[in-house]
Structure 1
Amino acid sequence: MTTVTTAQDVNQPTLQPAAPAGRKLSLPVLLLIIAGGLALTSLVRVVTGADGITNVSQMSTALELAVPIGLAGLGGLWAERAGVVNIGLEGMMILGTWFGAWAGYQWGPWTGVLVGIIGGAIGGLVHAFVTVTFNVNHIVSGVAINILALGATRYLAPLAFEGKEGGSAKQSPQVESLGDFTVPGLSDALSDLNHKGWFLVSDIAGLLGGLVTNVSWLTLIAVALIPGSWWILWRTAFGLRLRSCGENPVAAESLGVNVYKYKYLAVIISGGLAGLGGVFLSIVANPFYLEGQVSGRGYIGLAAMIFGNWMPGGLALGAGLFGYTDSLNLRGGSENVHALLLLGALLLVIGAVWLVVRKKYTAAAITLLIGVLVFTWYATTNEVPNQVVSATPYVITLIVLALSAQRLRMPKADGLPYRKGQGK
């Protein structure tokens, strides 16, 4: 729908999406799928007794871990909607962690937030300068920024933090907390309901309880950026022009859009959002900068953006999924992951039935076989190795991208070289 609007407004019929309309999910269908997923999860909790998979603490941790992933993915969405692939999200997050902790330690946490955003935006500016002005391959530029950011912070950390109280060559001194909030009354009521262990009701209470218990103010800002980005990109003239640069920059230029300007703005905003994700890691998740604390979240954010089909809502769902699987490492990981093997087996069986309905019998047989193997793994063991628990977020990332690949449609000019006046 969004690309059709773009096509109408820039008068270019070639911008029509390639994916058939029948593949699009309506909001009621999407909500029904989410409800079905919650019901299956609740059933697994009741059968296995793994109450930790939906308790308030688990959901609160999942939200905290989803925020930096979501911010990185949102940064990627802004850049790629303007036609610039941003593999450098990881490096921009690293810059955000270091600059945020450095400024937060000296001048307070909110100053750290601002400076961390600027640090990430500087990385975005470099990426825009190299890719837009000099037309360097976007992947090469992004990888270079990741390497440069890591090297720069390793060089700067000893100079800034070594010799300070609580600081070292790889860690900053502690940064003051931004503070958090809990909705009084509602949080306790949801927690009590969650402890009842009722089918579905307690699981929904756990999910909602995690959203209103010990939530950082920066989390609130990050969540608000999702609908805010959607409104700007899909409901304003600025967003329409920016997206036209990612669909057909030649057509946009013919209608008077300054394509270079919009690409620069999009990538700088992208870097700032990734930097904010880094700030979250070094001020909220941990009250200090620590070398290596980004740990690939920039890449997972990029995967969440692709899973969400370059849309803010889908991106939020992807970030939530990856944040939840990551939280399994911190809270009863082995027991919870073992319980989720049963959930995976059930989902595979349902997928096999769906493939049979669509008369894809070979794919259905393979899916059913994998489901049987997963169920056998669950039934013949009591726990999973810690290595499997640690790898779960990355395995889920690969599985989700593989399953959603047929529904994806990136902006048509994403990653393609562009020169001003090339359509003349």
Structure 2
Amino acid sequence: MSTDAILSEVTAGPAAPRKRRLSTARILLIVAGVLIGLSLVHLLTGADDVTSQGAIQAALQAAVPIGLAGLGGLWAERAGVVNIGLEGQMILGTWFGAWGSLQFGPWIGLLVGIAGGAIGGLLHALATVTFGVDHIISGVAITLLAPGVTRYLSFITWGSAGATQSPALQPDQTIPRVSVPGIDHLAGLEKHHWFLISDLAGVLRGLLVDVSLVTVLAVLLIIGTWLVLWRTGFGLRVRSVGEDPQAAESLGINVYKYKYYGVVISGAMAGLGGVYLATVSSVIFREGQTGGRGYIGLAAMIFGNWRPGGLALGASLFGYTDALQLRRGSESLHALLILVGLLLLALAAWEILRRRNYIVGGAAGVLGIAAYVLFFTVDTIPTALVQAAPYITVLVVLALAAQRLRMPAADGKPYRRGG
């Protein structure tokens, strides 16, 4: 048997049944189902913002940095290293991306920001892989260190007046945006408020009009990650060291090297997410700009079961929730309680009747009933609840999805050559 065949058996492990995996067809069905559900909410409540171009653009803008952070977490954890330091690596990406763009232009700034995140990843790899520091402790240390480093760099670069933010980027210092030709003609269809057709027009305009090239790059990286990790020998070796490093070592693989690859690439992905925040979402570096997106990215990765397709769905969900709370959030989130309650009750019925999982089914049923009680008893959702919506979504989704998750077998476990 060849080395790659043995590695394939190692990485397969005690995986969940194949039917549970999110294939392309299943992802498309989920997307179509969500669009129909949002269209029904729009029809029943008249909440135009749930599928408007502006809401979808805001959701895409919120989802991209979350998705890039999650992609970083996926690379590290597939190599067996837990990267809690994604938040700190994103912070480094925001500062170096803004500084590089101000000094050398947008494309060099993009590379400098990626390099800043990669340096954070390299530091995490050095601590965890070489010196055996606990992964959580190292990640938290990097997240605590990064704000201090960027504050110091800001002070010596822009002076005391710019210690917490950079000068604003000029238009020629930002990454260009593109639109698909002719797609803006769908504006007329969106204004008619026809069921599904107008909603689809709004979604397409939000996804295809005035899109940053960094967004296009992020989509390509999700596809590229799947191709590299699941369709190449290099990816097979990375995944093998995250499943069973001793078995990989016995086949002649340098486990340390592939762990370094995974963690440095992880930091680079998080750094790119930071560049997006500083140069696309805004045109300035600001202290505290990441706002916990590194942690939400980890949640998206876990929701996606450590796979790129599921990660993209998780990032979209959290990004959409985050966008709505920033745009007339009370009205839109109140309307969405109809769809949320329906999905939770359907999940409860499925878990109880088909899987006989009474704990998850019961929890989903209680949450579904609570969603409808809230919808019928209040006209607007309290501001504090609106602001907490993205984080509540993260907790609820992870709690309900926990039964089907399978992390890499050696994720977070210490490794020593020959041991």
Please point out which of 185, 193, 201 is paired with 1:197: 193
Q: Partner residue of 1:174?
A: 168
Pair 412,6 (structure 1): closer, same or farther in 2 beyond 3 Å: farther
Which range is displaced more, 101-110 or 61-70? 101-110
Q: Please give the alpha-carbon distance, in whole angstroms, between the structure 1 residues aligned to 2:10 and 2:116.
A: 40
Letter in 2 for 1:46: L
Q: How many residues align?
A: 414
> Could you state the TM-score of these two structures normalised by the residue count of structure 2?
0.94
Aligned-pair CA distance for 1:18? 4.3
Pair 309,361 (structure 1): closer, same or farther in 2 beyond 3 Å: closer
Which range is displaced more, 272-281 or 176-185? 176-185
Letter in 1 for 2:167: P
Q: Deviations over 1:379-420 (max 9, x none)?
A: 121111111111111111111111111111111111111111
Please point out which of 278, 283, 296 is paired with 1:282: 278
1:320 aligns with 2:326: no
- Structure 2: where are the runs of 5+ without partners? none
1:213 aligns with 2:209: yes
Q: Partner residue of 1:385?
A: 382
1:32 aligns with 2:29: yes
Q: Please give the alpha-carbon distance, in whole angstroms, between the structure 1 residues aligned to 2:34 and 2:207.
A: 19
Aligned-pair CA distance for 1:309? 0.7
Q: Please give the alpha-carbon distance, in whole angstroms, between the structure 1 residues aligned to 2:389 and 2:3.
A: 38
* 3-state DSSP of counterpart to 1:328: helix
Letter in 1 for 2:126: F
1:230 aligns with 2:226: yes
Please point out which of 265, 270, 295 is paired with 2:266: 270
Q: Please give the alpha-carbon distance, in whole angstroms, between the structure 2 residues aligned to 1:402 and 1:361.
A: 13
Q: Please give the alpha-carbon distance, in whole angstroms, between the structure 1 residues aligned to 2:286 and 2:10.
A: 50
Letter in 2 for 1:296: G
Q: Please give the alpha-carbon distance, in whole angstroms, between the structure 2 residues aligned to 1:407 and 1:352.
A: 15
Q: Partner residue of 1:412?
A: 409
Pair 260,48 (structure 1): closer, same or farther in 2 beyond 3 Å: same
* 3-state DSSP of counterpart to 2:325: coil
Aligned-pair CA distance for 1:6? 9.6
Letter in 2 for 1:171: Q
Aligned-pair CA distance for 1:80? 0.7
Q: Deviations over 1:33-79 (max 9, x none)?
A: 33222222211111110010111111011111111111111111111
Alignment of 1:243-262 (within 5 A): 243-262=239-258
Identity %: 58
Alignment of 1:14-53 (within 5 A): 16-53=13-50
Aligned-pair CA distance for 1:352? 2.8
1:120 aligns with 2:103: no
Q: Please give the alpha-carbon distance, in whole angstroms, between the structure 2 residues aligned to 1:40 and 1:185.
A: 27
1:302 aligns with 2:298: yes
Q: Please give the alpha-carbon distance, in whole angstroms, between the structure 1 residues aligned to 2:45 and 2:131.
A: 57
Pair 6,225 (structure 1): closer, same or farther in 2 beyond 3 Å: farther
1:100 aligns with 2:94: no
Q: Deviations over 1:245-292 (max 9, x none)?
A: 111111111111111111111111111110010011111111110000
Q: Partner residue of 1:9?
A: 6
Q: Please give the alpha-carbon distance, in whole angstroms, between the structure 2 residues aligned to 1:136 and 1:108.
A: 38
Q: Partner residue of 2:156?
A: 159
Aligned-pair CA distance for 1:10? 2.3
Aligned-pair CA distance for 1:215? 0.4
1:81 aligns with 2:75: no
CA contact (8 A) 2:66 2:296 kept: yes
Q: Deviations over 1:326-359 (max 9, x none)?
A: 1012221111111111221111222233234327
Q: Please give the alpha-carbon distance, in whole angstroms, between the structure 2 residues aligned to 1:359 and 1:249.
A: 34
CA contact (8 A) 1:113 1:279 kept: yes
- Structure 1: where are the runs of 5+ without partners? none
CA contact (8 A) 1:6 1:240 kept: no
CA contact (8 A) 1:101 1:172 kept: yes
Which range is displaced more, 367-376 or 288-297? 367-376
Q: Deviations over 1:148-178 (max 9, x none)?
A: 1111112221221226xxx622110012221
Aligned-pair CA distance for 1:205? 2.0
CA contact (8 A) 2:3 2:251 kept: no
Q: Deviations over 1:305-334 (max 9, x none)?
A: 111111111111111111111101222111
Alignment of 1:288-367 (within 5 A): 288-358=284-354, 360=356, 362-363=358-359, 364=361, 367=364
